[in-house]
Amino acid sequence: MKPALSLSVATSALLLAACSPADISASRLDSSGSAGSETGGPPGAAQTNPLLADWATPYGAPPLDLIEDAHFLPAFASAIASHAAEIEAIASDPDAPTFDNTLLAMEMTGQDLGRISSIFFNLASSASNDQIRAIQREMSPRLAEHSASITLNPDLFARIDALYQQRDSLDLTAQQARLLETTHDDFIRAGAQLQGADRERFAALRSELASLYTRFAQNEQADRESWSMELSEADLTGLPDYIVSAAAGAAADRDRDGHVITLARSSVEPFLQASPNRDQRETAWRAWMQRGDNDNANDNKDTIAQILSARLELANLLGFETFAHYRTAGTMAGTPDAAMALMEQVWWPARDRALEEAADIEARIAEAGLDHELEPWDWRYYTQQVRAERFDLDESEVKAHLQLDNMIAAMFYVSGRLFDVSFHERTDIPTYHPDVRVWEMHNADGQVMGLFYGDFFARPGKRGGAWMSSFRAQNGQTGQIPLILNNCNYNKPADGEPALLSFTDAVTLFHEFGHGLHGLLSNTEYASLAGTSVDRDFVEFPAQIYEHWLSQPEVLERFALHHDTGEPMPAALLERILAAGTFNQGFATVEFLNSGFVDLEYHLNTNTDTIKIDTFENRILGKRDNLEDIPMRHRSTHFLHAFAGEGYASGYYSYLWAGVLDNDGFAAFEEAGDIFDPDLARKLLDSVYSAGDSLPAMDAYIGFRGREPNVEPLLHNRGFIKAEG
C-alpha cells in the first residue's frame, strides 16, 4: 500500500483533510481532552509539552518516548493557531505576489502542525487506544476546517492565481514552476474558485467527510479486533507449527490461554490455507468477509452511503459529473474510462485463468471423495494442495528459509546494489513500541541521508495490512533528512523463535520498502514535491518494481537461508518456487479486479441515496460473469482504501495501473541481462525514486524506460499470455 501522505509544510492542512489509514500517513489523542485550553495551554506549554518544544534527539527525530496522549490536544490547538497566523500574514501581504513571498513562504509555514500531525496519525494507525481514537474523532473535522480555511482563503488564492497567470514570464526554475503548477491545481481541486454558499457548503462537506472517514476506519478496527475463534487441542491437528505458534501468540496478546485465530490477514489467511476443518474455515471466512457488516455498533453500511452522497455533492460543486471524474482527473489515467478500460483488458484473461484454477480445485475435491461444491472458504485450502502437488512445495519448508531478519538484509542488499546506499541499525532513537526498529541510511560517502523505522508485527491497536508513512518528508529548503516508517502485520513468534515469512509476506516486505526508498531517496527542493507526493496511480510503481528483485536467484541464494542450519535454499526448491510464480494468478487478479470495479462503479453512480450495499456489489460483480467463489478482495464495509479516506477512492485500480509500469519497467533490466544494470539503476533513481513530484508521472517513467509502458509484460508475467517465440 502506498505510504501515508507526507505532511509537507505548504499543503499540510490540505493533505490532512484527506488523510486516512488507507493513505500514506496516520493519527493519536487523550479522551479527556483536558490537557490544556483551546488556545494552546498554559504559559510555558512549550517547556512541558514535548510536541511544542525543540527536540534534542538525533536528526530531530520525534521524542516518542516522551509523548503522552494528553499532549496532543493542546499541541494541535497551538499549532493550528500559529499556522493560521502564518497563512494570514502571507494572504494579507501588501507587496505584490512573488514566488518567494507567496509559494516559498507557504512552503515554510505549518512546521509545528506538520510534525505534530505526522506523529499523531502514525500512532493512530500503529499504536491506537480508546484515548487516541477519541482524539481522532475530535480532531478530524477540526483539521478539515483548518484546511478549508486555507484553501478557501480568497486573498491567498488570488496571490497564487496571479503568479500562475504570469508563470511564463517569471523566470522560474523547473521545480519552482512545478510547485506553482501543483499548488494552483491543489487549490482549485480544494474549492478555491467557489463563491458564496457553494464555498461554505464545500467546507462543510470536507469537515463531514473527515468525520465519516474516521468513523469508517474505527468501525472496521473495532469489528476486526472484537472477533476471535478459539482452537481446541483437537483443532490444532493438521495445522503447521507456524500457525499453531501464531495462534498461541494471538491468544497471549489478548491475555488468554490456548490458541485463537483472529481477523488479522496474517492470522486468518494462513488458517484458511491450512485447516482441514471445513466448518471452521467457513466460520473464519464469513467473519472475515462480514467485518463492518454485522448490524451492530460498528456497522459501516450507512457510513458508506453518507460518504458516497457527500463525495458526489462535493464533486458536483467543483463541476465534475461524478466523484470518479474528480479523482481520476488528477492521475496518470486522467479519466475513469481509461481506468475502467485497463481493468477490462485484464479481466477476461484473468477470468479464463481463474476458471481453469477452479476446475483443478473441483477435481481435487472429487479425488478426495467429497461431494460438496467449491465455496470461497475452500479456495485457499485446496489451492495450497494443488500447488504443493504440482510444484512439490511445502509451505513450512519455504517459510523455514525466509527468516524476517534475513529478508530485511536482502532488501537492504538490493538497495545497496541499485542505489549505492547502506543501512546501519540504531538502538538509541526513540520509538513508540518496543517492536519498532530504526536504521540510518548512508550514501556512498557515509553521509546519513535518512532514518528508516520498521514496525513488522501485528498486535491489538494496530490496523491491518501493510503501509509506508513518514514522520518527516525530505526538505531541500531546511536540509532535513526524511524519517520514513514501514508497517507490516506479521505474526510475532514466541520468545526465542525466529520470525518466519511466507513468500507472499516477503513480497510485501519488499513492496513497502520500495515505498520507503521512494521517501528516503527523495531529492527535491521543496517538501511539497518530495517522495511519494506523486499521482496515486504512479505511487505504487516504485514499490511494485522493487518486489521483482526478491524473486531473483541471486538474491534468494544469498539470503534465503534455513533458520536452523543456515544452509541456502536448495536449488531445486528455489526452482519450484520460481516455477510457481504464475500459479493462482487468475484468482488473485479476479479478486483484486472485483474490488477495483466496485470501487469505481460506486463513484460513477449518481443515485447514491438508493444504494444498498449487498445488492450493489452483486450487481457490479454479475455484470462480468464473476465466479461466485471469488468475492471482492475487500468487501465494501471494510474497504479501507475506498472509504477510510480519499487516497484510493476511485483509485483502487492504481495497483493494476502500476502493475503495467512495474512489469514493463523490470523487463528493462531483464533485457539488459543484469538485474543491477548500473545505467538503468541510475535512471530509475534520478527519474523516479529521487524525483518525487518534480515532473509529471509519465515524464518520470519515460525518463527511466525511454518510452511509454507496454501492458504485455504484465499479462505474460501473470501467465495470461505466452511470450512470443
Q: Which of 350, 569, 485, 378 is nearest to 3 (CA)?
A: 485
Tell me what percent of the chain is helix, strand and coil, each rounded to the nearest 5.
60, 5, 35
Cell of 18: 484527506
| Beta strand pairing call for 467-472 and 437-442 | unpaired
Catalytic one among 208, 220, 395, 512? 512
- Neighbour count for residue 167 (Cβ, 10 Å): 14
In 3-state terms, what secondary structure has residue 490?
Answer: strand
Greatest Cα-to-Cα distance within the chain, rounded to the nearest angstrom: 84
> Which 3-state string (H, E, C) describes 66-133?
CCCHHHHHHHHHHHHHHHHHHHHHHHCCCCCCCHHHHHHHHHCCCHHHHHHHHHHHHHHHHCCCHHHH
CA distances from 556 to 495, 603, 606, 675 (A): 26, 42, 50, 13
Residues 6+ apart with CB under 8 A from 122: 4, 25, 26, 27, 28, 432, 469, 471, 485
Phi-psi region of 89 (alpha: psi -120 to 50; beta: other; left: phi over 0): alpha
Strand-pairing partners, residue 403, are 500
The amino acid that residue 263 corresponds to is L
**Contact indicator for 430, 533 with CB cutoff of 8 Å:** no
**Contact indicator for 150, 89 with CB cutoff of 8 Å:** no
Question: Strand runs (DSSP E) across 563-653, as ranges?
Answer: none
**Contact indicator for 482, 441 with CB cutoff of 8 Å:** no
CA distances from 358 to 211, 346, 380, 549, 563 (A): 42, 18, 11, 30, 35
Residue identified by cell 508563470 is: 167
**Residue 567 is among the residues annotated as catalytic for this protein:** no
In 3-state terms, what secondary structure has residue 669?
Answer: helix
DSSP state of 480: B
What φ, ψ does residue 438 adopt, rounded to 5°?
-135, 135
CA atoms within 13 A on the CB side of 88: 8
Burial profile 689-719: b = 16 or more Cβ within 10 angstroms, e = fewer: bbbbbbbbbeebbeebbeeebebbbbbbbbb
**Contact indicator for 57, 63 with CB cutoff of 8 Å:** yes
In 3-state terms, what secondary structure has residue 208?
Answer: helix
In the sheet where 437-442 sits, what is the strand order? 422-426, 437-442, 448-457, 483-490, 467-472
CA distance 50 to 68: 9
CA distance 32 to 46: 20
- Give the H or E element holding residue 438: strand 437-442
Residues 6+ apart with CB under 8 A from 41: 35, 49, 74, 77, 78
What φ, ψ does residue 83 adopt, rounded to 5°?
-65, -45
Catalytic residue numbers?
512
